Amino acid sequence: MKTNKKQSLIWWDKRLFFIIIDIAFLYTDWYNVFKENADSREAIMDNRELIVQSALELFYARGYDAVGVQEIVDKAGISKPTLYYYFGSKLGLLKVLLEGGYENLESRLLPVIDQGGDIKDVLYRTAREFFDYCAGHQKFYLFMLSLFYLGRENEAYLTVAPVIQRFYKLIVRIFENASSQLGNMRGRQDLFAVGFTGILNHHVMTLSYNLAEGEEFYISNETTYEIVHQFMYGIYT
């Protein structure tokens, strides 16, 4: 009886050993598959970002219409089928470029705007965050603005117009949130947003145009304060 019990325990020990071995191999297989998939996803993201950045460099330098797909793939060091696989077309690439760049800007401005507070403080924080964004994404923002001045039937204009509208609506939100401070807006929030957006864009374009080769884009806190003060109180105060 004791012998049978001992043999039974040995059998279970062996079975348990092989079960553990099977689990170990299964875990290893899962890990390898997961790692391969993770590496593949990372490579896809790297390729997509490389293509987007290559396209931005070319679009910024020469304009959307003047750049062909072949130039983009040559600069990125990839093939045409690779670009078409990721984006479908040159227009699809433009949509991804604009959406990604704008969402980055919006994610920085939205918390500042929704934080609320005194309208002058909100405008200052918004302008400061906006200028800091432009310092790091100067080419993207200037390229995005340039598309808005294309012909109204141009595919690039039709693509960028909703993005520009989203930015404008974001600025409108500042004045809608401040209605308790500014009184009944009666539609004035749209006019205020146009004025404030225009001032921001004008300073970015003017500064960028006057930058010397290798000079960094920078708008100081003092200048930011003066811009907001001028918007709030006019040029003679």
Does the CA dihedral 48-53-56-62 come out positive or negative?
negative
Please give the torsion angle defined by the CA atoms of residues 178, 179, 180 and 182, in that order, rounded to the nearest 10 degrees: 90
Q: Is the pLDDT of residue 77 over 50?
A: yes
Kindly report the pTM of this predicted structure.
Answer: 0.78
Confidence band of 2 (pLDDT split at 50, 70, 90): very low
Neighbouring C-beta atoms of residue 201, cutoff 10 Å? 18
Fold of 2-83: Arc Repressor Mutant, subunit A (1.10.10)
Q: Which two tokens stand for residue 215?
A: 């000079």
Contact 48, 83 (CB under 8 A): no
Tell which residue, 114, 102, 127, has the closest CA to residue 202: 127
Query: What confidence tens digit (pLDDT) does each residue in 158-217 have?
Result: 999 999 999 999 999 999 888 777 666 667 889 999 999 999 999 999 998 888 877 888
Domain boundaries, the chain: 2-83, 98-233
Range list of β-strands (E), the chain? none
Query: Is CATH 3.40.640.10 what the domain over 98-233 is classified as, yes or no?
Result: no
Tell which residue, 72, 33, 78, 81, has the closest CA to residue 52: 72
Confidence band of 67 (pLDDT split at 50, 70, 90): very high
Average pLDDT, the chain: 84
Alpha carbon distance 122, 139 (integer Å): 26
Pick the residue with more confidence: 57 or 234? 57
